[in-house]
């Protein structure tokens, strides 16, 4: 299933039904008065968080949503039926934004949470409401109010406690496959991960936590280089960022410069991301370049950044890292 996390849709709530112009016509009632009923309310367009959904794929194929209009009023002061509300199901973690005003309408961050994105029009009053002592035969009624119509940006932000970031081939996919039941694609070439991957981690008797493997960033991502910023929205909710840096003999770059490159890209995307707690994990230590490892470790110690050295393949250092992450996320469900 293709992962879709950003869609723009057009919604229109239902128009209200018109009020009825009607007069009593009953035998033995020579002066029957007005008895036109009110129109029904137009249907709302409601977005609802559904835990069974994981992507916005359905919205990619249906971009227009029009709700039912209210029924017109009827004789004998009978009220028209309200329109049946249109419910659009979206994954938990979906954010709704008005495309024109850029106002955030709702953050559907819990199962069953709802947002009335477009309210149905109110039904018009029937002529029975307009009879007075001086106007006993009103021959008019109110039309129904039109429903709201707008464009909505629907954006999915995954709910995860820990966000794994780093350059391509830093070992993110290998690590998440070892510490959780997630099975991302692992290969020795850039961008093996083309969509975010979630993994649930359970360590000892501590609470479980969710880790998100974010596709690799590269320098210039803010200009659209590589995969660009298209997946960084998924680390905005995380409580801590785990920055993976390759220190193996085969890694081409300087580990400290690699670390700073990614942080510069995060800063260009959102300064708020740089305020999140960060930890660094030096990866592929089973084939480490000792100088690179010590240089990265010294940089982290100098700047007060929590540092770990791990080999996911050999599961070396992973227990200490998981204990740290479990304690950091305990009581802070993302």
The whole-angstrom separation of Cα 285 and Cα 306 is 17
pLDDT bracket for residue 230 (50, 70, 90): low
What residue spans define the domains of the chain?
Answer: 6-156, 162-329
- pTM to 2 decimal places: 0.69
pLDDT at 29 (0 to 100): 64
Average pLDDT, stretch 176-200? Answer: 62
pLDDT at 187 (0 to 100): 42
Q: Is the pLDDT of residue 112 over 80?
A: yes
Q: What is the mean pLDDT of the chain?
A: 85
Q: Is the pLDDT of residue 238 over 90?
A: no
DSSP at 259: H
pLDDT at 192 (0 to 100): 44
Number of H helices, E strands in the chain: 5, 14
242 in Cβ contact with 162 (< 8 Å): yes
287-323 pLDDT, tens digit each: 989 999 999 999 999 999 999 999 998 999 999 999 9
pLDDT at 144 (0 to 100): 95
Domain 162-329 falls in which CATH fold? Answer: Rossmann fold (3.40.50)
pLDDT at 279 (0 to 100): 96
Higher pLDDT, residue 265 or 216: 265
310 in Cβ contact with 282 (< 8 Å): yes
pLDDT at 52 (0 to 100): 87
28-41 pLDDT, tens digit each: 666 678 999 999 99
| CATH assignment of 6-156, among 3.30.70.580, 3.40.50.1820, 2.70.210.12, 3.90.850.10 | 2.70.210.12
Work out whether strand 162-165 and strand 197-201 pair parallel, antiparallel, or are unpaired: unpaired
pLDDT bracket for residue 219 (50, 70, 90): low
pLDDT at 303 (0 to 100): 95
76 in Cβ contact with 38 (< 8 Å): no
Average pLDDT, stretch 14-24? Answer: 94
Side-chain-facing half-sphere of 211: CA atoms under 13 Å: 29
pLDDT bracket for residue 21 (50, 70, 90): very high
54-94 pLDDT, tens digit each: 778 888 889 999 999 999 999 999 999 999 999 999 989 89
Q: Is the pLDDT of residue 193 over 70?
A: no
Long-range contacts of 263-269 (CB under 8 A, 24+ apart): 264/219, 265/217, 265/219, 265/220, 265/221, 265/222, 265/229, 266/165, 266/232, 268/222, 269/221, 269/222, 269/229, 269/232
Q: Could you give the C-alpha distances from 103 to 82, 95, 121, in angstroms and in order? A: 29, 11, 21
232 in Cβ contact with 268 (< 8 Å): no
| pLDDT > 70: percent of the chain | 87
The whole-angstrom separation of Cα 240 and Cα 57 is 28
Q: Is the pLDDT of residue 147 over 90?
A: yes
Q: Is the pLDDT of residue 324 over 90?
A: yes
């Amino acid at each position: 299933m293709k992962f879709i996390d950003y869609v723009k849709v057009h919604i229109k709530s239902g128009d209200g039904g018109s009020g009825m112009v009607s007069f009593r016509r009953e035998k033995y009632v020579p002066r029957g008065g007005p008895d036109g009923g009110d129109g029904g309310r137009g249907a709302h367009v409601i977005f609802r968080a559904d835990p069974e959904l994981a992507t916005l794929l359905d919205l990619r194929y249906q971009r227009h949503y029009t709700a039912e209009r209210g029924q017109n009023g009827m004789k004998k002061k009978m009220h028209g039926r309200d329109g049946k509300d249109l419910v659009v199901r979206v994954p938990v973690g979906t954010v709704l934004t008005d495309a024109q005003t850029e106002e955030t309408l709702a953050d559907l961050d819990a199962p069953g949470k709802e947002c009335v994105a477009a309210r149905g029009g109110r039904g018009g009053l029937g002529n029975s409401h307009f009879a007075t002592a001086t106007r006993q035969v009103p021959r008019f009624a109110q039309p129904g109010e039109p429903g709201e119509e707008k464009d909505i940006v629907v954006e999915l932000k995954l709910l995860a406690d820990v966000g794994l970031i780093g350059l391509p081939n830093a070992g993110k996919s290998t690590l998440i496959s070892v510490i959780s039941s997630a099975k991302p694609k692992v290969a020795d070439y850039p961008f093996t991960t083309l969509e975010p991957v979630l993994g649930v981690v359970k360590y000892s008797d501590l609470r479980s936590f969710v880790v998100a493997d974010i596709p690799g960033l590269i320098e210039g991502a803010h200009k659209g280089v590589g995969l660009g910023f298209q997946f960084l929205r998924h680390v905005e909710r995380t409580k801590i960022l785990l920055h993976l840096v390759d220190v193996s003999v085969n890694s081409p770059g300087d580990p400290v410069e690699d670390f700073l490159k990614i942080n510069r890209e995060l800063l260009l995307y959102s300064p708020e991301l740089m305020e999140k707690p960060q930890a660094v994990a030096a990866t592929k230590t089973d084939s480490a370049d000792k100088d690179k490892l010590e240089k990265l470790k010294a940089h982290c110690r100098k700047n007060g950044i929590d540092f770990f050295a791990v080999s996911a393949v050999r599961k070396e250092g992973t227990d200490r890292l998981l204990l740290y992450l479990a304690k950091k996320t305990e009581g802070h469900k993302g």
